[in-house]
C-alpha cells in the first residue's frame, strides 16, 4: 500500500512540475454514452493560433484510460471583433490510445469552444471522436476548466 501511495505521489509531483512549465492545465469531465470519466490535460501554445494539448482520461467503469495528444487551431475571436474577445472556438486532431483489456491506437478529433472568464481561467465544451485503427470509433462530450 505504501509503495502504491508513493508511486501516486511521485506521479502527481511529476505531472505538477510538467504543468508548471506548460501554458495551461485543464481539468476535464468526460461524458461518453458508455459512462463518465475524469481527466487532466496540459496545453501549450505553438504559434499565435495553434496549441498542443496532451490529455489523459480515466473511465472507472471499465476501468480504462484514454491518452492522447493533438494540435488545435484555436483563434481568439477578439482578433475580428473586440466584443468577442475571450471566445476561442477550436478544432484539431492527433493520436490517441485507449488502454484497457483490448488496447488500441487511433485518430483523435476535437471540435469545441473555450470562453475565458479572465486571462487565466477558461471554461470549455468539447466534442471529441476517437477512431482506433482497428475500427469501432466512439464519440463523447467533455466539459472542463483551463487554468493558465
The answer to whether position 11 is within a domain reads no
Domain that holds residue 138: 24-147
Task: Pull the grid cell for residue 136.
Answer: 469501432
Global pTM reads 0.79
pLDDT tens digits, one per residue of 114-140: 999 988 899 999 999 999 998 888 889
Rg (CA), the chain: 16
Domain with residue 83: its CATH number is 2.40.160.20
Q: Are 19 and 13 in contact (CB under 8 A)?
A: no
Computed over every residue of the chain, the mean pLDDT equals 85
| Total structural domains within the chain | 1
Report in angstroms the alpha-carbon separations of 138 from 32, 109, 131, 143: 8, 11, 7, 17
pLDDT tens digits, one per residue of 24-67: 899 999 997 767 899 999 999 998 899 999 999 998 887 888 99
The answer to whether position 10 is within a domain reads no
Amino acid at each position: 500500500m505504501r509503495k502504491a501511495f508513493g508511486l501516486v505521489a511521485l506521479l502527481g509531483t511529476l505531472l505538477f512540475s510538467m504543468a508548471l512549465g506548460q501554458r495551461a492545465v485543464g481539468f476535464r469531465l468526460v461524458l461518453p454514452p458508455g459512462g463518465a470519466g475524469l481527466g487532466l490535460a496540459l496545453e501549450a501554445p505553438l504559434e499565435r493560433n495553434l496549441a498542443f494539448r496532451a490529455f489523459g482520461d480515466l473511465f472507472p467503469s471499465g476501468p480504462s484510460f484514454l491518452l492522447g495528444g493533438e494540435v488545435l487551431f484555436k483563434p481568439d475571436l477578439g482578433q475580428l471583433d473586440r466584443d468577442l474577445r475571450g471566445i476561442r472556438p477550436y478544432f484539431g486532431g492527433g493520436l490517441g490510445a485507449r488502454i484497457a483489456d483490448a488496447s488500441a491506437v487511433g485518430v483523435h478529433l476535437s471540435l469545441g469552444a473555450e470562453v475565458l472568464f479572465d486571462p487565466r481561467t477558461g471554461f470549455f465544451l468539447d466534442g471529441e471522436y476517437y477512431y482506433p485503427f482497428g475500427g469501432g470509433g466512439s464519440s463523447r462530450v467533455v466539459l472542463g476548466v483551463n487554468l493558465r
